[in-house]
Structure 1
């Protein structure tokens, strides 16, 4: 639907010699999720290795090859009601690349430059018009590279994990509730009640092992500006370095009157939390 727009990077599902002229290139399985099957190839050998990996893991499935786009990554949360899209939040993402592309932090600023907002609005309207969406939530992940917007993916739902809470703390909007009202034919209330800077820091681990305990949650909650601390795994769970978004094991949300205040609160709180694990080598 979007292949003839300026938002779509070069892509192909064909294994052709031209692939090797597009390095670095991203190799994906379109039916996967959570970043676990989004691989970066920097050389012809890595392209071939990734093709073999996907052919073994998903025999007969399509493999997607796509230009790697540099630049800052964002997402925009949108609610479509009566065919008209409403931009709820524009969120800056921090991507950490070790084993996979993992989003390890999010930032919401109350104020966005008018020119940037206009470019986001144009992209959102293009997606909604091309897909024919009439009612529902969606989010678009995109990168800004050399002044141009390039779409990474579009999902017909609100972002998962902490996104609804982040929007609530930033603007006083419960996007899940307003989406449900829209689905029921009720006019959603998307007016901002507050305007605060929000920063969310996620935690991952560096080694595989069995979780013995988690310390520092209460200390994190006591940090000024921290409004929410969430730890997902229970004692006895097997933790591992992040190869998918599901391997983010906790988050801390900080708010502030400035972006530095919000970031400092979230990072300070996250620094108080420790996962105590028995390393894999010690597991019998």
Structure 2
């Protein structure tokens, strides 16, 4: 229950409904005895997914509109969001009401990939060669700038590897930038040097005074030029020097409150941040993390936003192995056959499959996680058993896409 045994009011800002919200944070808020109000620009979608939750329409990308909506409703005890797009607005609104919150400056630095690079470089934490292409700016101007090759072009404030592409020469770079601009006419782009090495994540949880490292994942990606996450394997503990380097860069950015999901590569012992998502990891990794660690992860995250300190020891399990796989569409078309949701026990492995796309749904090929057909997550006591259970399950399934 809420610490003072009185019902607390939490405002949760969201765009589209996500598993993190509907299966993670909303049930956790109920267990904490909180009254929840969802503020969103997609109210009907949230009412369909969570009919027992109060949902109010709001222009949530505008922090002034958020403040007005809250101040004309019930007095808040917490303002929270797990959306990449809404961390700055949420932090500003919470600060306005005098509530515990992330630094809005840190939220902006982590969301704006160009500003993140500038800030890390200015503080001497890390320097990645990069240039920024303003919204509407002619990509031909990049030929006059010091663009390294190979490089990666991506939206300055994008998410989920959408329109993130590796490029190896100037002509292709100009072409790719024009393609992204046609899809996102109002978006600024970042072009930065390609950082080699294996991709990993670090998951952290802090209350502003104490920071817990929850482990991370090793991420396997699709072949270039795209960066689709196809498999994540849980890593209970990254090497100490690597963790120290990543935490130093997060500290330079001002990150340390609530949940944070950081992607980084390691090359010759040097940890280089790819991006910082100042919220809990998504795509059901957070659901898996809570289950495998055996801790009330979503409750802990909400408690930090209520001003409650985290325990010195989360008492998280370390004797576990886990993996997530994301079967992906390889062409555009209509999904005409696919497995249904299932929960299985294979030896000591607990395996869960959830479809992402419905049979009969037609979609183009996005080259992002929007191509996911389903999500397989598995937890066990040793990696070999987990890997075998997932491989056997996938081998027995069929997804059919009709052009």
Q: TM over 0.5: same fold?
A: yes
Closer, same or farther: CA 104–40 of 1 in aligned 2, 3 Å: same
Please give the secondary structure, in 1, of the residue aligned with 2:180: helix
Partner of 1:3: 121
Deviation at 1:180? 0.6
Query: What CA RMSD, in Å, does the superposition of the two structures yield over aligned residues?
Result: 2.4
Deviation at 1:256? 2.8
Larger radius of gyration: 2
Partner of 2:287: 165
Closer, same or farther: CA 43–126 of 1 in aligned 2, 3 Å: closer
1:162-192 residue CA offsets vs partner (Å, 9 max, x unmatched): 1112212331123222101111122335221
Alignment of 1:114-133 (within 5 A): 116-127=239-250, 129-133=251-255
Deviation at 1:204? 0.6
Aligned partners of 2:288 and 2:377 also within 8 Å = yes
Deviation at 1:221? 2.8
Partner of 2:297: 175
Partner of 2:108: none
Please give the secondary structure, in 2, of the residue aligned with 1:97: coil
Question: What count of residue pairs does the alignment treat as equivalent?
Answer: 273
Deviation at 1:223? 4.0
Aligned partners of 1:87 and 1:121 also within 8 Å = no
**Greater displacement, 171-180 / 68-77:** 171-180
Closer, same or farther: CA 180–60 of 1 in aligned 2, 3 Å: closer
**Greater displacement, 236-245 / 226-235:** 236-245
Aligned partners of 2:216 and 2:237 also within 8 Å = no
Closer, same or farther: CA 199–7 of 1 in aligned 2, 3 Å: farther
Cα distance in 1, alignment partners of residues 338 and 185 from structure 2? 40
Closer, same or farther: CA 50–260 of 1 in aligned 2, 3 Å: same
Aligned partners of 1:167 and 1:174 also within 8 Å = no
Alignment of 1:91-106 (within 5 A): 91-97=217-223, 100-106=226-232
Aligned partners of 2:242 and 2:270 also within 8 Å = no
Alignment of 1:44-193 (within 5 A): 44-59=170-185, 61-97=187-223, 100-112=226-238, 116-127=239-250, 129-133=251-255, 135-189=257-311, 190-193=314-317
Deviation at 1:10? 1.6
Please give the secondary structure, in 2, of the residue aligned with 1:203: coil
Closer, same or farther: CA 67–167 of 1 in aligned 2, 3 Å: same
1:27-55 residue CA offsets vs partner (Å, 9 max, x unmatched): 11112222121111112211121232234
Deviation at 1:211? 2.0
Cα distance in 2, alignment partners of residues 8 and 228 from structure 1? 41
Aligned partners of 1:137 and 1:179 also within 8 Å = yes
Of Structure 1 and Structure 2, the greater strand share is in: 1
Partner of 1:29: 155
Cα distance in 2, alignment partners of residues 134 and 146 from structure 1? 27
The reply on whether 1:235 has 2:353 as its aligned counterpart is no
Higher relative contact order (CA 8 A, sep 6+): 1
Closer, same or farther: CA 257–133 of 1 in aligned 2, 3 Å: closer
Aligned partners of 2:323 and 2:378 also within 8 Å = yes
1:82-119 residue CA offsets vs partner (Å, 9 max, x unmatched): 3332111221111113562111111113354xxx2343
Deviation at 1:227? 2.5
Q: Give structure 1 stretches of 5+ with no counterpart.
A: none
Q: Which of the residues 235, 258, 261 maps onto 2:382? A: 258
Please give the secondary structure, in 2, of the residue aligned with 1:158: coil
TM-score (norm 1): 0.85
